[in-house]
């Protein structure tokens, strides 16, 4: 009796709650574009506590990454929409030959403490970041530079503290010699690891990390640990993208639900990503202030070629193609994922240099009949597969949808293999214990097709955990890395990409979108291909 009563009440409470939310939404729906802006206004942004002290070569996760991005300006940056590379602190970058670069640094840039930004600010920072002693997470970003193996040997202490490939003939020139030719090395210069550092950094890097001094559009004000990170616009900023607001307050949220609620109630100005629970209603809740923008990142399911279930299949390539064709990407992205993703047509997302339209062709299109035929021809009709994923990342729904697609179309038994968190999944992957397939994904480091291919599918690439090996691909990428110009390299990488569809190391599923929005206090909020807002363009409304 007791149980029955309480059940009734819970049901009642749930109905009340649902009704209440239904009334809550859609209060006002303008995008604020007409209202007057206050150039000194500070806006808040959904963030999370940085994992480490702010040192550009050590920042890898989103929380610290976004903060580093506004505090530092690098030599180059990428256009928010097209992803095209643009000079920022660099005046010019000249490629003398495949492995020699001359970089001219613009004069007139200063750090937030007044120190001039010179060639040395960059070179010293790179040498420090590469040094094995400093155990920086992004150290491998410098591995193209000649002399990296001296400052960062495989094992043991560094033999030198400077990379021999870097020199500064004068205050505003950097000469770079790479150990191996890399025609697209300039793209890497846009990553946070290549930020310049002021000389005060080296006196106490740890203390600096608590009160960082950069050269970017915003300067550090205060870091209330676990609460927020406050910045203000730097008035002597030398870049073209001068902030149109007074500063950014990075407010830390542990749950995206709380951040979403705060934006809907105008207590948080700019969202990073809408909470899963808000996906169904955010267009209604935020009206014209809801934003959808393409992001250069991809979700795939990769194959573990060493797994028994896969080895049992006669023709793995055909099997993969068949499985790929069994997946109805359009329906899943529309229904299960509520329109938050775009079906993938290849391994490289659209706003990336070297994107090939429809690269995957028919193999990424839903065709259950052909799928069954291919799987049968491959001798895999009786196979049973599983997809490994982490249960804490909101993947469960689409994994089951993909699995039921596969079983329905081809008869191949498919089940989801969930592990508690990403850490556990990583363990399984590095120890080569994956049953057959695993969920994989890639967010761009820089918008170039090589970044989506080489580090993931090369036979010896560290990111290739499935043991995939494709000689044509390896040859083409090796050739592309030695190409004299960027354009030739991009072309060769396109050929390399095409060669992947013959036996598919992974099945491209969909590209991510930034699903976000902003409050009634700000306007002109746009997002770039990394999924981060264009901070300097945001305008705060006059109160």
Partner 1 sequence: MGRYVARRLLQMIPVFIGTTLLIFLMVYSLPGDPVRALWGDRPADPQAMARLRHEYWFDRPVLAQYWHYLSNVVTGDFGSSFVTGRKVIDVMAETFPVTIRLALIAFAVEIVVGLSLGLLAGLNRGKLWDKLVLVITLLLISIPIFVLGFIFQTIFADQLGWTTPTVQNSDDITQLILPGAVLGSLSFAYIARLSRTSLAENLRADYIRTAIAKGLPRRRVVGIHLMRNSLIPVVTFLGTDLGALMGGAIVTEGIFNVHGIGNTLYRSINQSDNATVVGIVTILVIVYLLSSLLVDLLYAALDPRIRYA
Token code pair at residue 388? 């490994």
* Site stretch for partner 1 (CB under 8 A), options 106-114, 116-124, 153-161, 535-543: 153-161
For partner 1, which is the closer residue by CB, 59 or 359?
59
Q: Does residue number 11 form part of the binding site for partner 1 (CB under 8 A)? A: no
Backbone dihedral angles phi then psi of residue 237, each to the nearest 5 degrees: -60, 130
Span 210-249, contacts to partner 1 by CB under 8 A: 225-227
- 405, 265 Cβ separation under 8 angstroms: no
Three-state SS string across 167-214, please?
ECCCCCEEEEEECCCCCCHHHHCCCHHHCCCCHHHHHCHHHHHHCCCC
Least distance in angstroms from the C-beta of 430 to partner 1: 7
- 301, 468 Cβ separation under 8 angstroms: no
Q: How far apart are CA 430 and CA 441, in angstroms?
A: 15
In the numeric block, the tokens 């505090």 are attached to 71
For partner 1, which is the closer residue by CB, 20 or 369?
20
Helix (H, G, I), strand (E, B) or coil at 361: helix
Nearest to 188 by CA among 380, 451, 394: 451
Pick the binder of partner 1 from 463, 484, 485, 542 (CB under 8 A).
463
CA angle in degrees (0–180, nearest 5) for 173-444-163: 35
Helix (H) or strand (E) holding 104: strand 100-105
Least distance in angstroms from the C-beta of 401 to partner 1: 22
Token code pair at residue 223? 């870091």
Q: Does residue number 29 form part of the binding site for partner 1 (CB under 8 A)? A: no
Q: Does residue number 459 form part of the binding site for partner 1 (CB under 8 A)? A: no
Pick the binder of partner 1 from 159, 236, 288, 423 (CB under 8 A).
423
Pick the binder of partner 1 from 257, 367, 415, 475 (CB under 8 A).
257
Q: Does residue number 262 form part of the binding site for partner 1 (CB under 8 A)? A: yes
- 76, 281 Cβ separation under 8 angstroms: no
Number of residues that bind partner 1 (CB under 8 A): 66
Interstrand relation of 437-443 and 384-390 (parallel, antiparallel or unpaired): parallel
Q: Does residue number 155 form part of the binding site for partner 1 (CB under 8 A)? A: yes
Backbone dihedral angles phi then psi of residue 229, each to the nearest 5 degrees: -130, 110
For partner 1, which is the closer residue by CB, 10 or 40?
10
Least distance in angstroms from the C-beta of 149 to partner 1: 11
Least distance in angstroms from the C-beta of 463 to partner 1: 5
Q: How far apart are CA 146 and CA 148, in angstroms?
A: 6
Nearest to 221 by CA among 76, 298, 112, 334: 112
Helix (H, G, I), strand (E, B) or coil at 31: coil
Q: Does residue number 179 form part of the binding site for partner 1 (CB under 8 A)? A: no
Pick the binder of partner 1 from 161, 420, 432, 484 (CB under 8 A).
420
For partner 1, which is the closer residue by CB, 17 or 84?
17
Pick the binder of partner 1 from 267, 400, 408, 526 (CB under 8 A).
267
* Site stretch for partner 1 (CB under 8 A), options 15-23, 309-317, 399-407, 474-482: 15-23
Pick the binder of partner 1 from 107, 265, 404, 459 (CB under 8 A).
265
Q: Does residue number 449 form part of the binding site for partner 1 (CB under 8 A)? A: no
For partner 1, which is the closer residue by CB, 25 or 317?
25
Q: How far apart are CA 480 and CA 448, in angstroms?
A: 13
For partner 1, which is the closer residue by CB, 109 or 220?
220
Pick the binder of partner 1 from 61, 91, 171, 211 (CB under 8 A).
61
Nearest to 366 by CA among 323, 336, 396, 415: 323
For partner 1, which is the closer residue by CB, 258 or 502?
258
* Site stretch for partner 1 (CB under 8 A), options 105-113, 400-408, 454-462, 470-478: 454-462
Q: How many CB atoms lie within 10 A of CB 431?
A: 9
Q: Does residue number 455 form part of the binding site for partner 1 (CB under 8 A)? A: yes
* Site stretch for partner 1 (CB under 8 A), options 3-11, 231-239, 304-312, 399-407: 3-11
Least distance in angstroms from the C-beta of 144 to partner 1: 15
Nearest to 180 by CA among 123, 98, 96, 103: 98
Exposed / middle / buried, residue 152 (Cβ in 10 Å: 0-12, 13-18, 19+): buried
- 290, 520 Cβ separation under 8 angstroms: no
Q: How many CB atoms lie within 10 A of CB 219?
A: 22
Helix (H, G, I), strand (E, B) or coil at 166: strand
- 407, 342 Cβ separation under 8 angstroms: no
Q: Does residue number 2 form part of the binding site for partner 1 (CB under 8 A)? A: yes
* Site stretch for partner 1 (CB under 8 A), options 18-26, 358-366, 375-383, 446-454: 18-26
Token code pair at residue 512? 């991510």
Least distance in angstroms from the C-beta of 280 to partner 1: 16
* Site stretch for partner 1 (CB under 8 A), options 35-43, 256-264, 347-355, 380-388: 256-264
For partner 1, which is the closer residue by CB, 392 or 397?
392
Give the contact letters, 196-215, x = binds to partner 1 (CB under 8 A), - = no.
Answer: ----------x---------
Span 116-145, contacts to partner 1 by CB under 8 A: 132-133, 135-137, 139-140
Least distance in angstroms from the C-beta of 428 to partner 1: 9
Q: How far apart are CA 225 and CA 230, in angstroms?
A: 11
Helix (H, G, I), strand (E, B) or coil at 252: strand
Q: Does residue number 154 form part of the binding site for partner 1 (CB under 8 A)? A: yes
Three-state SS string across 57-78, please?
HHCCCHHHHHHHHHHCCCCEEE
Instruction: Give residues in contact with partner 1 (CB under 8 A).
Output: 2, 5-7, 9-10, 13-14, 16-17, 20-21, 23-24, 49-53, 60-61, 132-133, 135-137, 139-140, 152-155, 206, 225-227, 252-255, 257-259, 261-262, 265, 267, 392, 419-427, 430, 440-443, 455, 461-463
């Amino acid at each position: 009796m007791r149980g029955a009563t309480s059940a009734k009440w819970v049901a009642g409470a749930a109905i009340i709650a649902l009704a209440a939310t239904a009334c809550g939404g859609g209060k006002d729906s303008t995008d604020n574009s007409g209202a007057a802006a206050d150039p000194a206004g500070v806006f808040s942004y959904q963030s999370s506590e940085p994992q480490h002290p702010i040192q550009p070569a050590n920042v890898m996760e989103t929380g610290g990454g976004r903060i580093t991005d506004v505090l530092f300006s690098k030599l180059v940056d990428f256009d928010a929409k097209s992803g095209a590379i643009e000079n920022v602190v660099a005046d010019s970058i000249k490629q003398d030959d495949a492995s020699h670069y001359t970089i001219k640094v613009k004069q007139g840039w200063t750090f937030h403490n007044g120190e001039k930004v010179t060639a040395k600010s960059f070179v010293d920072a790179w040498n420090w970041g590469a040094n094995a002693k400093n155990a920086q997470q992004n150290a491998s970003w410098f591995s193209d530079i000649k002399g990296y193996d001296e400052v960062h040997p495989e094992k043991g202490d560094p033999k030198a503290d400077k990379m021999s490939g870097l020199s500064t003939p004068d205050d505003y020139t950097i000469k770079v010699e790479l150990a191996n030719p890399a025609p697209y090395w300039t793209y890497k210069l846009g990553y946070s690891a290549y930020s310049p550092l002021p000389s005060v950094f080296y006196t106490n890097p740890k203390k600096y990390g608590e009160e960082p001094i950069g050269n970017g559009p915003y300067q550090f004000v205060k870091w209330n640990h676990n609460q927020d990170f406050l910045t203000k616009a730097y008035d002597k900023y030398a870049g073209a993208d001068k902030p149109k607001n007074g500063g950014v307050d990075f407010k830390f949220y542990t749950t995206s639900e709380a951040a979403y609620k705060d934006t809907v109630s105008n207590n948080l100005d700019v969202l990073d990503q809408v909470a899963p629970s808000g996906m169904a209603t955010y267009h209604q809740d935020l009206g014209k202030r809801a934003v959808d923008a393409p992001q250069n990142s991809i979700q795939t399911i990769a194959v573990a070629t060493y797994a028994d279930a896969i080895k049992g299949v006669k023709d793995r390539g055909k099997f993969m193609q068949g499985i790929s064709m069994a997946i109805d990407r359009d329906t899943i992205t529309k229904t299960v994922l509520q329109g938050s993703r775009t079906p993938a047509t290849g391994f490289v997302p659209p706003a990336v240099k070297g994107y090939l339209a429809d690269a995957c062709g028919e193999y990424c299109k839903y065709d259950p009949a052909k799928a069954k035929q291919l799987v049968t021809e491959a001798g895999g009709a009786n196979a049973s597969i599983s997809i490994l994923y982490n249960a804490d990342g909101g993947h469960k729904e689409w994994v089951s949808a993909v699995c039921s697609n596969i079983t329905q179309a081809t008869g191949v038994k498919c089940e989801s293999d969930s592990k508690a968190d990403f850490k556990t999944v990583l363990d399984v992957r590095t120890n080569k214990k994956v049953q057959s397939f695993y969920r994989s994904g890639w967010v761009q480091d820089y918008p170039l097709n090589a970044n989506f291919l080489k580090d993931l599918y090369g036979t010896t690439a560290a990111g290739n955990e499935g043991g995939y090996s494709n000689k044509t691909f390896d040859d083409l990428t090796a050739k592309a890395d030695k190409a004299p110009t960027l354009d030739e390299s991009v072309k060769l990488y396109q050929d390399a990409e095409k060669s992947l569809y013959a036996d598919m190391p992974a099945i491209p599923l969909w590209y991510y979108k930034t699903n976000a929005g902003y409050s009634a206090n700000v306007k002109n909020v746009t997002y770039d291909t990394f999924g981060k807002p264009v901070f300097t363009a945001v305008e705060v409304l006059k109160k």
